[in-house]
Amino acid sequence: MGSPHIRSSRTRLPFLRQVRAAPNLLTLLRLFIIPFLVIEILDAHYRMAFALFLLAGISDALDGLLARWLSQRTTLGLYLDPIADKLLLSTLFLTFTHVGLMPRYVTVLVFSRDLGILLIATLLFATGTLRDFQPSLFGKLNTLFQIITLTVVLCERIFVSVHVTMLRDGLIDLIAVLAPLSAAQYAWIVIRRLNTPPHAHA
């Protein structure tokens, strides 16, 4: 059974009222930004792309703060926020790869990791085998460095510097290591929890 505290901490509102909640409006804004961000990158307008990416990052930080300050933690926000984050990052990896700013193998590793975790999580959740999915340490680091790497890739287009280029290359190499490593840690955590007796999770 789920934690009563977790259940009670999320506001149960009609769907349309959940959509109108301030944190969810910010999350929707982040989704709305994505196509315009892609257009600016394809047109090589990197300053505008950086501004839009920064706006998306600010909205991501604010929606969590508002959810706590206004007590507007909704079920819609629980699912919509990580979807928006993942869609933003995945879209940028694809777009950067298309314009030659991200090696194809890195994007393949990132997508393979995400797709594998999504398929396993969906299967376990659908079968009722395991319903509580907490991000792992390497998973959090992977997401953090993905954000940093994408930011640096944009900065390298704006601020031409050998140091920024070297930092970009190092971060890309780090992502190539963290993606499969975080996938392996997630698989190990799932296997360990599946082999643990149910009463041990209490």
pLDDT tens track for 162-198? 999 999 999 999 999 999 999 888 888 878 777 776 5
Q: What is the pTM of this model?
A: 0.80
Indicate if 12 and 73 belong to the same structural domain: yes
Residue 195 lies in a domain: yes
Q: What is the pLDDT of residue 7?
A: 41
Last residue of a domain, one of 37, 58, 85: 85
Burial of residue 142, with CB atoms counted within 10 A of its CB: 0-12 exposed, 13-18 middle, 19 or more buried: buried
Q: What are phi and psi of 39, to 5 degrees?
A: -60, -45
Indicate if 202 and 108 belong to the same structural domain: yes
Residue 90 lies in a domain: no
Contact call for residues 178 and 156 (beta carbons, < 8 A)? no
Q: What is the pLDDT of residue 3?
A: 42
Alpha carbon 91 to its chain's center: 11
Q: What is the pLDDT of residue 79?
A: 75
User: Which 3 state secondary structure label does DSSP give 99?
Assistant: coil
pLDDT tens track for 109-161? 999 998 888 887 777 777 666 656 667 788 889 999 999 999 999 999 998 88
Q: What is the pLDDT of residue 194?
A: 74
- Domain around 155: 102-202
Indicate if 114 and 200 belong to the same structural domain: yes
